Amino acid sequence: MRFLHTSDWHLGRIFHGIHLTDDQAHILDQFIKLIHDAKPDAVLIAGDIYDRSVPPHEAVNLLDEVLSRILIDYRVPVIVIAGNHDSPQRLGFGHRLLAGRGLYIVSQINNGLVPVVLQDEHGPVYFCAVPYVEPPVVREKLGAADVHDHDRAMAMLVRHLKDQVPRGARTVALAHAYVTGGEGSESERPLSIGGADTVDAAYFQSFHYAALGHLHKPQSAGNEHIRYAGSLMKYSFSEAKHKKSVTLVEMDARGRTTYETVSLSPRRDVRCLAGYLKDILAGPQNGENKEDYIMVTLKDTGAILDAIGKLREVYPNVLHIERPHITVGGELHGPGGDHRRLGEVDLFASFFTQVTGTEINRVQEEVFTEIVEQVYRNEREVRV
Amino acid sequence: MRFLHTSDWHLGRIFHGIHLTDDQAHILDQFIKLIHDAKPDAVLIAGDIYDRSVPPHEAVNLLDEVLSRILIDYRVPVIVIAGNHDSPQRLGFGHRLLAGRGLYIVSQINNGLVPVVLQDEHGPVYFCAVPYVEPPVVREKLGAADVHDHDRAMAMLVRHLKDQVPRGARTVALAHAYVTGGEGSESERPLSIGGADTVDAAYFQSFHYAALGHLHKPQSAGNEHIRYAGSLMKYSFSEAKHKKSVTLVEMDARGRTTYETVSLSPRRDVRCLAGYLKDILAGPQNGENKEDYIMVTLKDTGAILDAIGKLREVYPNVLHIERPHITVGGELHGPGGDHRRLGEVDLFASFFTQVTGTEINRVQEEVFTEIVEQVYRNEREVRV
């Protein structure tokens, strides 16, 4: 069996004010061409299909279009799990009916989680698809009082699915999680604030392949066959150096897997330029695309009138400028370090110190953490 | 062929602050029992499935549940058109895939509109399903420069569908529109402000049955076989006297149709009580349900402390109180007449006169109308 593993499409993403739907449509066209060429037996999408629980309707149309083409034109079954950005209810609409057409959307654990079984010439493969679920929901639905973090929740859900698989069968896991030791980027929304969001890679060890989502950099996690496909595109400037790809996996009659990564070309790359304004204004070198989405770090120390305006005459899609050296001139006093690389809690602690002149204490930090968690929880399912 | 015609479910409706999803689930349970008993060959839902373009996720879950039961448990095909409250894109997700399971969602005219064909022992029946579409969209998609109102738009769309039906075939229309002469209620959102929203019943004359949606009162429109099923429930106090029902239609081998209406019982009725506080506080008579949703019109003229609190001790779901006689005592000066029965423009004109002491002029009225139309247009598809 051959399958394509992808994840973190984040359809409807807005990147520094730019709606990325057209860029996403461009790259998904290539994804469909890849399906045409590689003729996979299945497509696995490991969560964060949409960027938010209520995506813009253009994103809904795009997903409808892409899935319809894969399923109707190429008759390739698709297994989708919900990620932490997806609304389980909205993404799951029609899932029972759609399963009959080969589109398996696993977004809720209400009605009992069962493996999706697909066949090849060697027999069945059991896809144990674990949707992203908050630990309290697992606690309630599975009646497991001791599930207080993502690690325990994953352990429960994987065991629940694995128990339904005949011994010796070929198995693939799908999960949306932060496996311990994985390398994050700036564009992943934390699953919980304060640390207890990682899960042990050990839960996926006994599968013949684990198709993971959440981390945006393509990477293996603990073992070659436990793998993040990475996001469809670069969704932050911290990912400028990533090589984005989808993963094409071959499974043999005994379940052994090998994989290769296939790069897709974005309409516009995401890049970082650093240097003096004068040099950057000299323009693109070596066939670089001037339409790329660009962050510029200026080395100039003095004041510059309308730097972004000047830069956009050469690079129309400059989206962000940093001027780390301007602080020398005394115009700005930022927090120490690069604030874009700090988590919410550290960022707030730094702000707190700036404003009050004292270090944040443990109680204050806990109050803040609780508020941020609340905000994320609400954001996950906003009643509109 | 036997089919059930229903419309205007408005799932996710909030009625005077009350989320009606549980009431809607209650009545849809009965709808499913009716399907069990009446064994129809099809279910037609003539628009306004949801109350708004981004419905609460509970409403999405409810629709998923209901449609899955009808299609999977009873294997009855369902044809759904979008109404003016629905988001064409969100409602239409998966429509090509779902059509293969017998769920025909017709919400956009992008990909060409084709009749849905269902068979009975006498041959095919052509269902010409016309989704609610704004006239400018029809103008653009069908390249018809002269479509400036709903009447022309409907004429175009019906003709476009009818042209694809063999001569002499049995035909059913589905449409979401305000047919001239129909009787409105307060809970229908105007299709356009200022009058040009009605369509001629003549377009439906040549069909063997027309299953209409939009008006909330069950009624025929121009002819017995051109019919509004009415809304699932009472969605305003102006509908307190309606008898809500769904319509069960029998079509014979030659296309002749007869129908009967079937009433469904709400968990709580919507009722209006009028009288003196003292009498109303005497409580429910003749087996009336004290849990009903109630509007009270008090005849008392003097001041009453916490009238709603007192009433809710007897009727917990009193949602609105009117005191038309209190104006005599000089406490309130409302606009003349019942403001709940005025359209936006009339209501504003009345307000304008109250505030400025002068009548609104034509230009001012046009400016206001334009703004209201803009608001409705935005509301139809809010980018969140």
Domain borders along chain A are 2-263, 269-333, 341-384
DSSP 3-state of B328: helix
The dihedrals phi and psi of A270, each to the nearest 5 degrees, come to -110, 120
Helix axes A362-380, A344-356, angle to 10 degrees: 130
pLDDT at B380: 65
CA distances A384 to A49, A52, A57, B56, B171, Å, are: 20, 13, 15, 6, 39
- pLDDT by residue, tens only, chain A of 384 residues: 999 999 999 999 999 889 999 999 999 999 999 999 999 999 999 999 999 999 999 999 999 999 999 999 999 999 999 999 999 999 999 999 999 999 999 999 976 799 999 999 999 999 999 999 999 999 888 888 888 899 999 999 999 999 999 999 999 999 999 998 888 887 788 776 555 789 999 999 999 999 999 999 999 998 999 999 999 999 999 999 999 999 999 999 999 999 999 999 999 999 999 999 999 999 888 788 999 999 999 998 888 888 999 999 999 999 999 988 765 444 444 444 555 556 777 888 878 877 777 788 888 888 888 888 778 777 665 543
Say which residues have a Cβ less than 8 Å from residue A11's Cβ, sequence separation at least 6: A21, A24, A49, A50, A51, A55, A59, A62, A63
Q: What is the pLDDT of residues B240-253, one digit of tens each?
A: 999 999 999 999 99
What is d(CA B48, CA B229) in angstroms, rounded to the nearest whole number?
12
Assigned token pair, B224 = 């017995």
DSSP 3-state of A15: strand
CATH for the stretch B2-263: 3.60.21.10
Cβ–Cβ under 8 Å, residues B48 and B9: yes
Same fold, A2-263 and A269-333: no
| Of the partner residues B71, B72, B384, the one whose CB lies closest to the CB of residue A54 | B384
The whole-chain average pLDDT of chain B stands at 89
Question: Is pLDDT at B377 greater than 90 in this prediction?
Answer: no
Residue A263 at interface with chain B, using a CB cutoff of 8 Å: no
Alpha carbon A298 to its chain's center: 30
Among A313-317, B23-27, B358-362, where is mean pLDDT lowest?
Answer: B358-362
Say which residues have a Cβ less than 8 Å from residue B78's Cβ, sequence separation at least 6: B42, B43, B44, B45, B67, B70, B71, B102, B103, B104
Sheet holding A318-322, edge to edge: A270-275, A293-298, A318-322
pLDDT at A331: 45
Q: What is the pLDDT of residues B187-238, one digit of tens each?
A: 788 776 555 789 999 999 999 999 999 999 999 998 999 999 999 999 999 9
Q: Report DSSP state, residue B216.
A: S
What is d(CA B131, CA B49) in angstroms, rounded to the nearest whole number?
12
Q: What is the pLDDT of residues B63-76, one digit of tens each?
A: 999 999 999 999 99
What is d(CA B5, CA B250) in angstroms, rounded to the nearest whole number?
11
- Please determine, for the modelled complex, whether the ipTM score is greater than 0.90: no
What would you measure as the largest C-alpha separation in chain B, in angstroms? Answer: 70
Assigned token pair, A336 = 């120490």
Residue B74 at interface with chain A, using a CB cutoff of 8 Å: no
CB contact under 8 A, A56 and B384: yes
Q: Report DSSP state, residue B187.
A: T
- For residue A147, give the H/E element and its range: none
Handedness of CA A229, A233, A238, A243 (dihedral sign): positive
Percentage of chain B exceeding pLDDT 70:
93
Q: Report DSSP state, residue A23.
A: H
- Count CB-CB contacts under 10 A for residue B13: 26
Q: Hey, which CATH number is domain A269-333, 1.10.3470, 3.30.160, 1.20.1530, 3.40.50?
A: 3.30.160
Looking at beta carbons, which residues of chain B come within 8 Å of A57? 53, 87, 89-90, 381, 383
pLDDT at A332: 45
CB contact under 8 A, A96 and B68: yes
Cα within 13 Å of Cα(B194), Cβ side: 12
pLDDT at B47: 96
Q: Report DSSP state, residue B12.
A: T
Nearest Cα to A87, choosing from A63, A116, A123, A120? A63
Question: Is pLDDT at B299 greater than 70 in this prediction?
Answer: yes
Looking at beta carbons, which residues of chain A come within 8 Å of B71? 97
Q: What is the pLDDT of residues A343-355, one digit of tens each?
A: 777 888 878 877 7
> How close A154 comes to chain B (CA, Å)?
25
Alpha carbon A25 to its chain's center: 17
CB contact under 8 A, A94 and B383: no
Question: B378 or A181: which carries more pLDDT confidence?
Answer: A181
- For residue B302, give the H/E element and its range: none
In this prediction, residues B136-163 reach a mean pLDDT of 91
A19: closest chain B residue by CA: B383
In this prediction, residues B106-117 reach a mean pLDDT of 90
Residue B68 at interface with chain A, using a CB cutoff of 8 Å: yes
| Of the partner residues A54, A89, A103, the one whose CB lies closest to the CB of residue B61 | A89
| Of the partner residues B60, B71, B384, the one whose CB lies closest to the CB of residue A93 | B60
Residue B58 at interface with chain A, using a CB cutoff of 8 Å: yes
What is d(CA B241, CA B222) in angstroms, rounded to the nearest whole number?
22
Helix axes A57-68, A21-38, angle to 10 degrees: 10
Q: Report DSSP state, residue A77.
A: -
Residue B49 at interface with chain A, using a CB cutoff of 8 Å: no
